[in-house]
Structure 1
Amino acid sequence: MAEPFVVFGASGSGSVPIEAALSLLELPYRVEESAPWEGQEAANRLAHINPLRQVPALALPTGELMTESAAILIWLADAYPNARLAPALTDARRPAFLRWMMFVSSAIYALYWIADSPARVIEREEDHAATRARLFDRIARCWEQMGAQLQPGKYLLGEDLSVLDLYVATVSRWSPGRRRFYEVAPGLADIVRRVDADPRLATFWTQRFPFTQGWER
Protein backbone atom coordinates (compact mmCIF):
# COMPACT_ATOMS: atom_id res chain seq x y z
CA MET A 1 0.00 0.00 0.00
CA ALA A 2 1.27 3.47 -0.88
CA GLU A 3 2.17 5.81 1.91
CA PRO A 4 -0.56 8.35 2.73
CA PHE A 5 -0.29 12.02 1.96
CA VAL A 6 1.57 13.96 4.64
CA VAL A 7 0.59 17.56 5.33
CA PHE A 8 3.05 19.83 7.09
CA GLY A 9 0.97 22.53 8.72
CA ALA A 10 -0.94 23.64 11.77
CA SER A 11 -4.48 24.31 12.88
CA GLY A 12 -5.82 27.60 11.57
CA SER A 13 -2.96 27.91 9.09
CA GLY A 14 -2.65 27.73 5.33
CA SER A 15 -2.64 23.95 5.53
CA VAL A 16 -6.32 23.96 6.50
CA PRO A 17 -7.81 24.21 2.96
CA ILE A 18 -5.43 21.44 1.82
CA GLU A 19 -6.51 19.21 4.69
CA ALA A 20 -10.14 20.04 3.89
CA ALA A 21 -9.64 19.07 0.24
CA LEU A 22 -8.02 15.78 1.23
CA SER A 23 -10.95 15.12 3.56
CA LEU A 24 -13.51 15.77 0.81
CA LEU A 25 -11.52 13.56 -1.55
CA GLU A 26 -11.53 10.84 1.13
CA LEU A 27 -7.80 10.36 0.68
CA PRO A 28 -5.67 8.98 3.52
CA TYR A 29 -3.42 11.61 5.04
CA ARG A 30 -1.74 12.56 8.24
CA VAL A 31 -0.65 15.93 9.55
CA GLU A 32 2.82 16.71 10.82
CA GLU A 33 2.15 19.62 13.15
CA SER A 34 4.58 22.32 12.11
CA ALA A 35 4.21 25.90 13.35
CA PRO A 36 7.34 27.87 12.39
CA TRP A 37 5.98 30.99 14.07
CA GLU A 38 6.44 29.30 17.44
CA GLY A 39 10.17 30.03 17.40
CA GLN A 40 13.44 29.47 15.60
CA GLU A 41 13.74 25.86 16.68
CA ALA A 42 10.31 25.04 15.27
CA ALA A 43 11.17 26.88 12.06
CA ASN A 44 14.49 25.07 11.70
CA ARG A 45 12.74 21.70 11.88
CA LEU A 46 11.07 22.60 8.58
CA ALA A 47 14.30 23.40 6.76
CA HIS A 48 14.55 19.95 5.16
CA ILE A 49 10.94 20.23 3.99
CA ASN A 50 10.95 23.83 2.80
CA PRO A 51 14.15 25.91 2.90
CA LEU A 52 11.95 28.98 3.44
CA ARG A 53 10.78 27.31 6.67
CA GLN A 54 7.14 27.89 5.78
CA VAL A 55 3.97 25.83 5.74
CA PRO A 56 2.00 24.34 4.17
CA ALA A 57 3.83 21.58 2.37
CA LEU A 58 2.49 18.29 1.08
CA ALA A 59 4.41 15.05 0.70
CA LEU A 60 2.80 12.93 -2.00
CA PRO A 61 2.55 9.14 -1.73
CA THR A 62 5.27 8.97 -4.42
CA GLY A 63 7.67 10.78 -2.09
CA GLU A 64 7.58 14.01 -4.09
CA LEU A 65 7.15 17.18 -2.05
CA MET A 66 4.99 20.18 -2.96
CA THR A 67 4.91 23.64 -1.43
CA GLU A 68 2.71 26.68 -2.15
CA SER A 69 -0.90 26.36 -1.06
CA ALA A 70 -2.52 27.38 -4.35
CA ALA A 71 -0.39 24.97 -6.35
CA ILE A 72 -1.18 22.10 -3.98
CA LEU A 73 -4.91 22.77 -4.11
CA ILE A 74 -4.96 23.01 -7.91
CA TRP A 75 -2.94 19.80 -8.22
CA LEU A 76 -5.23 17.88 -5.85
CA ALA A 77 -8.33 19.03 -7.72
CA ASP A 78 -6.85 18.15 -11.10
CA ALA A 79 -5.45 14.81 -9.94
CA TYR A 80 -8.90 13.66 -8.78
CA PRO A 81 -11.29 15.17 -11.35
CA ASN A 82 -14.26 12.99 -10.45
CA ALA A 83 -14.67 14.99 -7.22
CA ARG A 84 -15.29 18.15 -9.28
CA LEU A 85 -13.25 20.36 -6.95
CA ALA A 86 -12.08 22.47 -9.89
CA PRO A 87 -13.34 23.26 -13.39
CA ALA A 88 -11.82 20.96 -16.00
CA LEU A 89 -9.18 22.29 -18.41
CA THR A 90 -11.82 22.68 -21.13
CA ASP A 91 -14.43 24.25 -18.85
CA ALA A 92 -15.27 27.89 -19.58
CA ARG A 93 -14.79 28.65 -15.88
CA ARG A 94 -11.19 27.43 -15.85
CA PRO A 95 -9.55 30.81 -16.54
CA ALA A 96 -11.51 32.43 -13.70
CA PHE A 97 -10.59 29.55 -11.40
CA LEU A 98 -6.87 29.96 -12.07
CA ARG A 99 -7.09 33.73 -11.88
CA TRP A 100 -8.73 33.82 -8.46
CA MET A 101 -6.66 31.01 -7.01
CA MET A 102 -3.53 32.97 -7.82
CA PHE A 103 -5.12 36.24 -6.74
CA VAL A 104 -5.82 34.88 -3.25
CA SER A 105 -2.30 33.47 -3.09
CA SER A 106 -0.33 36.45 -4.38
CA ALA A 107 -2.46 39.50 -3.58
CA ILE A 108 -3.75 38.42 -0.15
CA TYR A 109 -2.02 35.39 1.39
CA ALA A 110 1.48 36.70 0.61
CA LEU A 111 0.90 39.84 2.68
CA TYR A 112 0.70 37.83 5.89
CA TRP A 113 4.43 37.17 5.75
CA ILE A 114 4.82 40.84 6.68
CA ALA A 115 1.63 41.28 8.71
CA ASP A 116 2.52 38.38 11.00
CA SER A 117 5.92 39.93 11.76
CA PRO A 118 6.44 43.49 10.46
CA ALA A 119 10.00 43.39 11.84
CA ARG A 120 10.88 41.32 8.77
CA VAL A 121 10.80 44.51 6.68
CA ILE A 122 10.13 47.42 9.09
CA GLU A 123 12.97 48.19 11.48
CA ARG A 124 11.26 50.60 13.91
CA GLU A 125 8.95 48.79 16.32
CA GLU A 126 6.81 51.89 16.73
CA ASP A 127 5.86 51.60 13.05
CA HIS A 128 4.68 48.00 13.25
CA ALA A 129 1.07 48.66 14.26
CA ALA A 130 0.58 51.15 11.43
CA THR A 131 2.13 48.70 8.98
CA ARG A 132 -0.28 45.96 10.01
CA ALA A 133 -3.24 48.33 9.73
CA ARG A 134 -2.26 49.31 6.20
CA LEU A 135 -1.74 45.70 5.19
CA PHE A 136 -5.15 44.74 6.54
CA ASP A 137 -6.67 47.66 4.62
CA ARG A 138 -4.99 46.33 1.50
CA ILE A 139 -6.30 42.82 2.15
CA ALA A 140 -9.81 44.18 2.62
CA ARG A 141 -9.47 46.11 -0.62
CA CYS A 142 -8.45 42.93 -2.45
CA TRP A 143 -11.46 41.06 -1.08
CA GLU A 144 -13.61 43.98 -2.21
CA GLN A 145 -12.23 43.72 -5.74
CA MET A 146 -12.80 39.99 -5.84
CA GLY A 147 -16.35 40.39 -4.62
CA ALA A 148 -17.05 43.10 -7.20
CA GLN A 149 -15.80 41.03 -10.13
CA LEU A 150 -17.18 37.59 -9.32
CA GLN A 151 -20.74 36.59 -10.10
CA PRO A 152 -21.10 33.54 -7.87
CA GLY A 153 -23.83 30.98 -7.81
CA LYS A 154 -24.23 28.60 -4.91
CA TYR A 155 -20.44 28.69 -4.72
CA LEU A 156 -17.81 31.09 -6.05
CA LEU A 157 -17.69 29.55 -9.53
CA GLY A 158 -21.21 28.21 -9.83
CA GLU A 159 -23.03 25.23 -8.41
CA ASP A 160 -20.04 23.07 -7.47
CA LEU A 161 -17.88 23.54 -4.40
CA SER A 162 -14.26 23.96 -5.49
CA VAL A 163 -10.90 24.27 -3.79
CA LEU A 164 -11.25 28.01 -4.39
CA ASP A 165 -14.18 28.01 -1.96
CA LEU A 166 -12.08 26.15 0.62
CA TYR A 167 -9.21 28.60 0.09
CA VAL A 168 -11.36 31.72 0.48
CA ALA A 169 -13.33 30.31 3.42
CA THR A 170 -10.06 29.79 5.29
CA VAL A 171 -8.07 32.89 4.36
CA SER A 172 -11.05 35.20 4.93
CA ARG A 173 -11.01 34.16 8.59
CA TRP A 174 -7.57 35.68 9.11
CA SER A 175 -7.13 39.37 9.98
CA PRO A 176 -8.83 41.74 9.39
CA GLY A 177 -11.47 39.06 10.01
CA ARG A 178 -14.73 37.84 8.62
CA ARG A 179 -16.82 40.81 9.75
CA ARG A 180 -14.82 43.13 7.56
CA PHE A 181 -14.85 40.55 4.78
CA TYR A 182 -18.64 40.53 4.91
CA GLU A 183 -18.67 44.34 4.78
CA VAL A 184 -16.38 44.71 1.76
CA ALA A 185 -17.49 41.61 -0.18
CA PRO A 186 -21.15 41.08 0.78
CA GLY A 187 -21.81 39.03 -2.35
CA LEU A 188 -19.36 36.39 -1.14
CA ALA A 189 -20.67 36.20 2.44
CA ASP A 190 -23.26 33.50 1.84
CA ILE A 191 -20.75 31.35 -0.03
CA VAL A 192 -18.17 31.24 2.75
CA ARG A 193 -20.92 30.67 5.33
CA ARG A 194 -22.11 27.74 3.21
CA VAL A 195 -18.62 26.26 3.24
CA ASP A 196 -18.45 26.82 7.01
CA ALA A 197 -21.69 24.87 7.41
CA ASP A 198 -20.94 22.02 4.99
CA PRO A 199 -21.88 18.88 6.93
CA ARG A 200 -19.04 16.94 5.30
CA LEU A 201 -16.59 19.29 7.01
CA ALA A 202 -18.30 19.72 10.39
CA THR A 203 -15.90 17.45 12.27
CA PHE A 204 -12.95 18.75 10.29
CA TRP A 205 -13.60 22.41 11.17
CA THR A 206 -14.02 21.51 14.83
CA GLN A 207 -10.61 19.89 14.86
CA ARG A 208 -8.58 22.16 12.59
CA PHE A 209 -10.15 25.63 12.67
CA PRO A 210 -12.93 25.70 15.28
CA PHE A 211 -15.58 28.38 15.30
CA THR A 212 -14.91 29.56 18.84
CA GLN A 213 -16.74 32.49 20.42
CA GLY A 214 -15.90 35.75 18.68
CA TRP A 215 -14.14 33.98 15.78
CA GLU A 216 -15.51 36.42 13.21
CA ARG A 217 -13.86 39.36 15.03
Structure 2
Amino acid sequence: MLTLFHAPGACSLASCIALEETDAEFEIKTVSFADGEQHKADYLRLNPKGRVPALVVNDGTVAAHSKDATSSQGTKGVLTETPAILFYLAQQFPQANLAPLGDNFALAQMQSFNSFLCSTVHVAHAHKLRGARWANKESSYEDMRAKVPENMSTLFTMIEETYLGQPWVLGEQYSICDAYLYTIARWLEGDGVDITAFPRVNAHFKRMEDRPAVQRALRH
Protein backbone atom coordinates (compact mmCIF):
# COMPACT_ATOMS: atom_id res chain seq x y z
CA MET A 1 0.00 0.00 0.00
CA LEU A 2 1.26 3.45 -0.93
CA THR A 3 0.07 6.77 0.47
CA LEU A 4 0.87 9.97 -1.40
CA PHE A 5 0.64 13.33 0.35
CA HIS A 6 -0.40 15.81 -2.32
CA ALA A 7 -1.42 19.46 -2.63
CA PRO A 8 -3.56 20.42 -5.64
CA GLY A 9 -1.59 22.61 -8.03
CA ALA A 10 1.77 21.50 -6.62
CA CYS A 11 4.47 19.40 -8.25
CA SER A 12 3.03 16.37 -6.45
CA LEU A 13 0.57 16.12 -9.35
CA ALA A 14 3.32 14.36 -11.31
CA SER A 15 3.44 11.59 -8.71
CA CYS A 16 -0.37 11.36 -8.74
CA ILE A 17 -0.29 10.84 -12.50
CA ALA A 18 2.43 8.20 -12.24
CA LEU A 19 0.46 6.33 -9.58
CA GLU A 20 -2.63 6.40 -11.77
CA GLU A 21 -0.60 4.90 -14.61
CA THR A 22 0.26 1.86 -12.47
CA ASP A 23 -1.83 -0.91 -10.98
CA ALA A 24 -0.63 0.06 -7.50
CA GLU A 25 -2.89 0.10 -4.49
CA PHE A 26 -2.64 3.65 -3.20
CA GLU A 27 -4.32 6.41 -1.24
CA ILE A 28 -4.07 10.16 -1.81
CA LYS A 29 -4.05 12.43 1.24
CA THR A 30 -4.47 16.14 0.58
CA VAL A 31 -2.20 18.60 2.35
CA SER A 32 -3.87 22.01 2.62
CA PHE A 33 -1.32 24.73 1.95
CA ALA A 34 -4.01 27.33 2.63
CA ASP A 35 -4.28 26.01 6.19
CA GLY A 36 -0.51 25.64 6.52
CA GLU A 37 -0.77 21.88 7.10
CA GLN A 38 2.67 21.34 5.53
CA HIS A 39 4.21 23.21 8.48
CA LYS A 40 2.30 21.47 11.25
CA ALA A 41 3.91 18.94 13.57
CA ASP A 42 2.10 15.86 12.27
CA TYR A 43 3.22 16.45 8.72
CA LEU A 44 6.73 17.56 9.68
CA ARG A 45 7.22 14.26 11.50
CA LEU A 46 6.51 12.60 8.17
CA ASN A 47 8.43 15.05 5.97
CA PRO A 48 10.68 17.50 7.85
CA LYS A 49 11.08 19.54 4.63
CA GLY A 50 7.47 20.72 4.97
CA ARG A 51 6.74 20.22 1.30
CA VAL A 52 4.96 17.83 -1.02
CA PRO A 53 5.09 15.22 -2.36
CA ALA A 54 5.77 12.62 0.29
CA LEU A 55 5.18 8.95 -0.47
CA VAL A 56 4.67 6.56 2.41
CA VAL A 57 5.76 3.05 1.45
CA ASN A 58 4.50 0.10 3.45
CA ASP A 59 6.30 -2.72 1.70
CA GLY A 60 9.71 -2.26 3.28
CA THR A 61 11.58 -1.46 0.08
CA VAL A 62 12.94 1.85 1.38
CA ALA A 63 14.26 3.05 4.70
CA ALA A 64 12.48 5.70 6.73
CA HIS A 65 14.05 9.14 7.12
CA SER A 66 14.01 8.72 10.87
CA LYS A 67 12.83 6.54 13.73
CA ASP A 68 10.06 9.06 14.31
CA ALA A 69 8.72 8.54 10.79
CA THR A 70 8.65 4.78 11.30
CA SER A 71 7.15 4.73 14.77
CA SER A 72 4.59 7.50 14.34
CA GLN A 73 3.32 6.33 10.95
CA GLY A 74 3.73 2.57 11.42
CA THR A 75 5.41 2.35 8.01
CA LYS A 76 8.64 1.05 6.50
CA GLY A 77 9.65 4.23 4.76
CA VAL A 78 8.96 7.68 3.39
CA LEU A 79 10.19 9.03 0.07
CA THR A 80 10.33 12.72 -0.80
CA GLU A 81 11.36 14.71 -3.90
CA THR A 82 9.49 14.27 -7.16
CA PRO A 83 12.31 12.70 -9.23
CA ALA A 84 12.95 10.07 -6.55
CA ILE A 85 9.28 9.18 -6.18
CA LEU A 86 8.75 8.99 -9.94
CA PHE A 87 11.78 6.75 -10.43
CA TYR A 88 10.72 4.52 -7.53
CA LEU A 89 7.28 4.04 -9.08
CA ALA A 90 8.78 3.29 -12.51
CA GLN A 91 11.07 0.65 -11.01
CA GLN A 92 8.52 -0.81 -8.61
CA PHE A 93 5.87 -1.21 -11.31
CA PRO A 94 7.83 -2.11 -14.46
CA GLN A 95 4.69 -3.45 -16.14
CA ALA A 96 3.47 0.16 -16.42
CA ASN A 97 6.42 0.87 -18.76
CA LEU A 98 7.10 4.31 -17.26
CA ALA A 99 10.86 4.28 -17.85
CA PRO A 100 13.36 2.70 -20.28
CA LEU A 101 14.62 0.36 -17.58
CA GLY A 102 16.50 -1.86 -20.02
CA ASP A 103 18.55 0.95 -21.58
CA ASN A 104 21.05 2.56 -19.23
CA PHE A 105 21.77 5.54 -21.49
CA ALA A 106 18.09 6.31 -22.10
CA LEU A 107 17.49 5.90 -18.38
CA ALA A 108 20.21 8.45 -17.65
CA GLN A 109 18.67 10.82 -20.20
CA MET A 110 15.35 10.47 -18.39
CA GLN A 111 17.00 11.28 -15.07
CA SER A 112 18.81 14.23 -16.63
CA PHE A 113 15.57 15.73 -17.91
CA ASN A 114 13.75 15.25 -14.61
CA SER A 115 16.69 16.71 -12.70
CA PHE A 116 16.56 19.77 -14.96
CA LEU A 117 12.86 20.21 -14.24
CA CYS A 118 13.44 19.87 -10.51
CA SER A 119 16.61 21.89 -10.01
CA THR A 120 16.18 24.61 -12.64
CA VAL A 121 12.66 25.00 -14.05
CA HIS A 122 10.81 24.52 -10.76
CA VAL A 123 13.23 26.87 -8.99
CA ALA A 124 12.69 29.55 -11.65
CA HIS A 125 8.93 29.28 -11.09
CA ALA A 126 9.33 29.34 -7.30
CA HIS A 127 10.84 32.83 -7.44
CA LYS A 128 7.30 34.14 -8.03
CA LEU A 129 5.93 33.14 -4.62
CA ARG A 130 8.90 31.86 -2.62
CA GLY A 131 11.28 34.82 -2.73
CA ALA A 132 11.81 34.60 1.02
CA ARG A 133 13.90 31.50 0.40
CA TRP A 134 16.57 33.64 -1.25
CA ALA A 135 16.23 37.22 0.05
CA ASN A 136 14.90 39.33 2.91
CA LYS A 137 13.70 42.56 1.31
CA GLU A 138 10.31 43.05 -0.35
CA SER A 139 12.04 44.94 -3.16
CA SER A 140 14.03 41.78 -3.87
CA TYR A 141 10.84 39.73 -3.98
CA GLU A 142 9.36 42.14 -6.51
CA ASP A 143 12.41 41.88 -8.70
CA MET A 144 12.29 38.08 -8.56
CA ARG A 145 8.60 38.03 -9.50
CA ALA A 146 9.25 40.37 -12.42
CA LYS A 147 11.92 38.02 -13.77
CA VAL A 148 9.79 34.86 -13.70
CA PRO A 149 8.08 35.22 -17.13
CA GLU A 150 11.42 35.80 -18.84
CA ASN A 151 13.13 32.91 -17.09
CA MET A 152 10.29 30.46 -17.69
CA SER A 153 10.08 31.48 -21.34
CA THR A 154 13.80 30.92 -21.76
CA LEU A 155 13.67 27.50 -20.14
CA PHE A 156 10.64 26.35 -22.10
CA THR A 157 12.28 27.53 -25.30
CA MET A 158 15.17 25.22 -24.43
CA ILE A 159 12.75 22.35 -23.78
CA GLU A 160 10.87 23.07 -27.01
CA GLU A 161 13.96 23.26 -29.20
CA THR A 162 16.32 20.78 -27.57
CA TYR A 163 14.85 18.30 -25.11
CA LEU A 164 11.31 17.45 -26.16
CA GLY A 165 10.91 14.35 -28.28
CA GLN A 166 7.81 13.33 -30.19
CA PRO A 167 5.23 12.32 -29.31
CA TRP A 168 6.68 12.05 -25.78
CA VAL A 169 9.69 13.55 -24.04
CA LEU A 170 11.83 10.47 -24.71
CA GLY A 171 10.39 9.90 -28.17
CA GLU A 172 8.11 6.94 -28.78
CA GLN A 173 8.02 5.79 -25.16
CA TYR A 174 5.76 7.51 -22.67
CA SER A 175 7.53 7.94 -19.34
CA ILE A 176 7.54 9.66 -15.99
CA CYS A 177 9.18 12.62 -17.76
CA ASP A 178 5.85 13.33 -19.44
CA ALA A 179 3.93 13.48 -16.16
CA TYR A 180 6.53 15.83 -14.71
CA LEU A 181 6.70 18.15 -17.75
CA TYR A 182 2.91 18.37 -17.93
CA THR A 183 2.74 19.29 -14.23
CA ILE A 184 5.18 22.18 -14.60
CA ALA A 185 3.68 23.32 -17.92
CA ARG A 186 0.40 23.84 -16.03
CA TRP A 187 2.13 26.69 -14.18
CA LEU A 188 2.99 28.68 -17.31
CA GLU A 189 -0.24 30.66 -17.52
CA GLY A 190 0.08 31.79 -13.92
CA ASP A 191 3.68 32.73 -14.61
CA GLY A 192 2.61 35.06 -17.40
CA VAL A 193 3.77 32.77 -20.22
CA ASP A 194 1.61 31.76 -23.19
CA ILE A 195 2.04 28.03 -23.76
CA THR A 196 0.99 28.40 -27.40
CA ALA A 197 4.33 30.13 -28.02
CA PHE A 198 5.78 26.62 -27.74
CA PRO A 199 3.91 24.47 -30.30
CA ARG A 200 5.59 21.17 -29.37
CA VAL A 201 5.09 21.74 -25.65
CA ASN A 202 1.49 22.77 -26.25
CA ALA A 203 0.80 19.65 -28.35
CA HIS A 204 2.38 17.50 -25.64
CA PHE A 205 0.20 19.24 -23.03
CA LYS A 206 -2.95 18.40 -25.01
CA ARG A 207 -1.89 14.77 -25.47
CA MET A 208 -1.38 14.50 -21.73
CA GLU A 209 -4.84 15.91 -20.99
CA ASP A 210 -6.33 13.15 -23.14
CA ARG A 211 -4.79 10.41 -20.98
CA PRO A 212 -7.25 8.79 -18.55
CA ALA A 213 -4.57 8.65 -15.82
CA VAL A 214 -4.12 12.41 -16.03
CA GLN A 215 -7.86 13.00 -15.89
CA ARG A 216 -8.14 10.81 -12.80
CA ALA A 217 -5.15 12.50 -11.14
CA LEU A 218 -6.67 15.95 -11.63
CA ARG A 219 -9.70 14.89 -9.61
CA HIS A 220 -7.61 14.40 -6.44
TM-score (norm 1): 0.82
Task: Give the Cα separation in 1 of the matches to 2:39 and 2:104.
Answer: 40
Letter of the 2:170 partner, please give it. L
Where does residue 22 of structure 1 map in the other structure? 19
Where does residue 50 of structure 2 map in the other structure? 53
Are 1:180 and 2:194 counterparts?
yes
Task: Give the Cα separation in 2 of the matches to 1:189 and 1:116.
Answer: 24
Letter of the 2:27 partner, please give it. R
| Equivalent residue in structure 1 for 2:158, among 137, 145, 148 | 145
Measured against aligned partners, the alpha-carbon deviations of 1:188-213 in whole angstroms (never above 9, x if no partner) come to 221121011113433332x13xxxxx
Where does residue 117 of structure 1 map in the other structure? 130
Where does residue 214 of structure 1 map in the other structure? none
Task: Give the Cα separation in 2 of the matches to 1:118 and 1:175.
Answer: 18
Letter of the 2:39 partner, please give it. A
TM-score (norm 2): 0.81
Task: Give the Cα separation in 2 of the matches to 1:107 and 1:67.
Answer: 18
Measured against aligned partners, the alpha-carbon deviations of 1:102-126 in whole angstroms (never above 9, x if no partner) come to 1001111134444323233332324
Measured against aligned partners, the alpha-carbon deviations of 1:139-170 in whole angstroms (never above 9, x if no partner) come to 22112112211251221112222111010111
Aligned identity (percent) is 23
RMSD of equivalent CA atoms: 2.2
Task: Give the Cα separation in 1 of the matches to 2:150 and 2:102.
Answer: 34
Write the mapping of 1:1-217 to structure 2, written as runs, cut at 5 A: 4-36=1-33, 38-39=35-36, 42-45=38-41, 46-62=43-59, 63-90=76-103, 92-150=105-163, 152-177=165-190, 180-183=194-197, 185-205=198-218, 207-208=219-220
Q: How many residues align structurally?
A: 202
Task: Give the Cα separation in 2 of the matches to 1:14 and 1:156.
Answer: 18
Task: Give the Cα separation in 2 of the matches to 1:175 and 1:200.
Answer: 21
Question: CA 1:204 to 1:130, structure 2 compared with 1: closer, same or farther past 3 Å?
Answer: same
Q: Any idea what SS the aligned residue of 2:215 has? A: helix
- Asked if the contact 1:17/1:167 (under 8 Å) is kept, the reply is yes
Letter of the 2:195 partner, please give it. F
Letter of the 2:29 partner, please give it. E
Q: Any idea what SS the aligned residue of 2:194 has? A: helix
- Unmatched tracts of structure 1, length 5 or more: 209-217
Letter of the 1:12 partner, please give it. G
Question: CA 1:70 to 1:182, structure 2 compared with 1: closer, same or farther past 3 Å?
Answer: farther
Task: Give the Cα separation in 2 of the matches to 1:81 and 1:93.
Answer: 15
Question: CA 1:132 to 1:89, structure 2 compared with 1: closer, same or farther past 3 Å?
Answer: farther
Return 75-84 or 127-136, whichever deviates more.
127-136
